[in-house]
Each structure stands twice: as C-alpha cells, then as structure tokens.
Amino acid sequence: MRTRRLVTAAVAVALGATTLAAAPASASSGSSKPTGTRSLAAVLTSDGNTFDHNWYDYDIVTEAVLAVLAAKPNSPVKVLADGTTPVTAFLPDDRSFQVLAYDLTKRWPSTEKKTFEALVAAVGVDAIEQVLLYHVVPGATITKRDAVKANGAALTTAQGGTVTVKVLNKWIPIIELKDQDRNDVNPFVNPRRFDINKGNKQIAHGIVFVLRPLDL
C-alpha cells in the first residue's frame, strides 16, 4: 500500500511539474518533416550533465546513456548523438528510475546518484543498454500531433521489442505505453513533456515510469 501511494504521488507531481528539459528548435516547427539536426544527446547534456535534487528532469537517463557509451562505444545507443538520424525517444524522469530501483532492490534510494548506482549494481550495464534501447524508436520522428493519432500502433524499438500505444484522451492528451511487463503499471506520456527538441529529426517525449522490455 505504501508503494502504491508513493507511486501515485510521483505521477501527480510529475504531471504538475513546470520545468522543461527541452531545446530550441533548429528548424521550423511548422514543417511536416523536421530537418533540424540537434541531437537528443546534446539536449540531455545541455543542463550541465550532473545529478541534482529535481526528481522530475532527466539526469538519470542521461547518466545511463553516458555510462553505456563509456563501456561500449559502439553501442546502438550512440544513435542519440547523431542528429542527422531520425529517432523518437521516450524519456523516463528521475523519479521513474527511483521507482524501478525500488522494484528491483526493495529499497528507496535517497538521491539520484544512489538511484543510478543501485540500478547499475542490480542489473549491470548490458541490461541498462537494453532498457535504453527499448525507449528508442529508430527511423521515425513521432511528434505529439502524430502520437495522438496513433491509438493501437505497435512501435518497434531499437531493442527489437514492441511498445503499444493506447490513446485514452487525445485532447489532454493522455497516452499509455504498454510494455512487456504485464504485471506492473504501464508508463504514460507526461502531457507537459511532449516534443522535446521539436523541429529536429530527433525528438523525445517525457514519460512517467520506465518501459520494461521483459516481465520483471
């Protein structure tokens, strides 16, 4: 029961947060096919690339990407640094990773840094790489406008799995992403975090909870 209350509170705060992890568009946002080449890696590291006390930005996913590339420079994750390659990424906020760390270890890490370290210790860099790739849809720039029309779509990820889109309300909008863990809460796109890096070939949407490529 305590876990459920904490998870509910995390969702409520995340949906109400006001700071944006976005970057200015380098191409006209009115273009049907974005041509800007600012990479998502550039966006993620633009805030100084450090852990902080804001659980609703994207420091942990940034550090996870950097850790994978440090250990495996040729990892497919490196596509996030190539702004000429279209991709759509779903970015879990830091609180989402704290919930995942609890699910894996049954302990609540008290800081972002401890959360990241707990995840690495629990599953290792290779598993983190697969989780990251499961959040990336290669070859497509899926904007908010596209997403609200995608009810029922099965997205093939860079990890090789699928994520199914369920549009519960296209006006707010409320979009659920069904992953491969059938026994846990599915992630949702944060309505205030669509179109990060808008106008570029690489775009991202913030999500609440981490997509899981297997049943944990």
- pLDDT at residue 8, rounded to an integer: 40
Query: Average pLDDT over the chain, rounded to whole?
Result: 88
Distance of CA 156 to the CA centre of its chain: 15
Phi-psi bin for 113: left (phi > 0), alpha (psi -120 to 50), beta? alpha
Q: Report residue 107 as tokens.
A: 């302990």
- pLDDT at residue 9, rounded to an integer: 40
HSE-up of 4 (CA within 13 Å, CB side)?
2
pLDDT tier at 73 (50, 70, 90 boundaries)?
Answer: very high
Q: Does domain 2-208 have CATH number 2.30.30.170?
A: no
pLDDT tier at 124 (50, 70, 90 boundaries)?
Answer: very high
Over residues 38-42, mean pLDDT: 98
Q: Which residues contact 4 (CB under 8 A, 6 or more apart)?
A: none
Over residues 141-159, mean pLDDT: 97
- pLDDT at residue 16, rounded to an integer: 41
**Proportion of the chain above pLDDT 70, given as a percent:** 85
Question: Mind spelling out the 3-state secondary structure of 143-184?
Answer: CHHHHCCCCCCEEECCCCCEEEEEEEECCCCEEEEECCCCCC
Return the C-alpha torsion angle 53, 56, 61, 67, nearest 10.
0
State yes or no: pLDDT of 146 exceeds 60. yes
Assign 23 to helix, strand or coil: coil
- pLDDT at residue 182, rounded to an integer: 87
Q: What is the pLDDT of residues 154-183, one digit of tens each?
A: 999 999 999 999 999 999 999 999 999 988
Q: Give which of 41, 115, 121 is closest to 81, Cα–Cα.
A: 41
State yes or no: pLDDT of 15 exceeds 50. no
- pLDDT at residue 215, rounded to an integer: 76
Distance CA 103, CA 92 (A): 15
